[in-house]
Amino acid sequence: MRWLFGNIDFFVRLFVILISLLQPFILIYFCGELTSLSQYWETPLQPLFIFINATTSYFFFDLKDWKIPSLFLMLLTAFSVTLYPAVHNLFAVLFFISCLYSLYTTKRFRIYTIIYCISLIIGLLFGLLWLEIFAILVLTVYHLHILVYKEFLLNQRK
């Protein structure tokens, strides 16, 4: 029982990663395919969009090299793409670029940086929505990998 409650942070982070991983597919399933993830702000699933971005931003802020992406994610969520398209799009671009920088500067699992860059090709071939989805999938799998790896190391020490 102590193991479960001692690692509540692990399970909360795991939950946020998993819902972040599923979010694009939930949005597409219930609202159809739009031009970008930001367009889902104008759908009935807006609360899901805001909740997931806010929780992801919160956990990013706690990570050493992810404070800047955290800030940009929160700002792009705060500024609706409908009411403030230029500001929102600027923060969205800065978010994805800062994520690339954070991936690049991290010494572990550098392969994710290369895979993340492939999202540009995906975008050219399939459009902005799929660029964003692919990039988010890479980011969530990367953070899942880091989370599980750290938990494994902690359990090895015990």
Provide CB contacts within 8 A for 108, sequence distance 6+: 146, 149
| Structural domain contains residue 98 | yes
Identify whether the C-beta of residue 145 lies closer than 8 Å to the C-beta of residue 113: no
| Number of folded domains that form the chain | 1
| Structural domain contains residue 15 | yes
pLDDT digits (tens, 9 = 90+) for 23-36: 999 999 999 999 99
Entry pTM: 0.91
pLDDT digits (tens, 9 = 90+) for 41-97: 899 999 999 999 999 999 999 898 999 999 999 999 999 999 999 999 999 999 999
Quickly state the pLDDT bin for 2 (edges 50, 70, 90): very low
- What average pLDDT does range 151-158 have in this prediction? 82
Is it the case that residue 21 has pLDDT exceeding 90?
A: yes
Quickly state the pLDDT bin for 1 (edges 50, 70, 90): very low
pLDDT digits (tens, 9 = 90+) for 105-117: 988 899 999 999 9
| Structural domain contains residue 158 | no
Provide CB contacts within 8 A for 63, sequence distance 6+: 70
Domain limits at 113?
2-152
At residue 6, the pLDDT reads 60
Identify whether the C-beta of residue 60 lies closer than 8 Å to the C-beta of residue 73: yes
Is it the case that residue 4 has pLDDT exceeding 60?
A: no
At residue 5, the pLDDT reads 52
| Structural domain contains residue 157 | no
CB atoms within 10 A of CB 119: 21
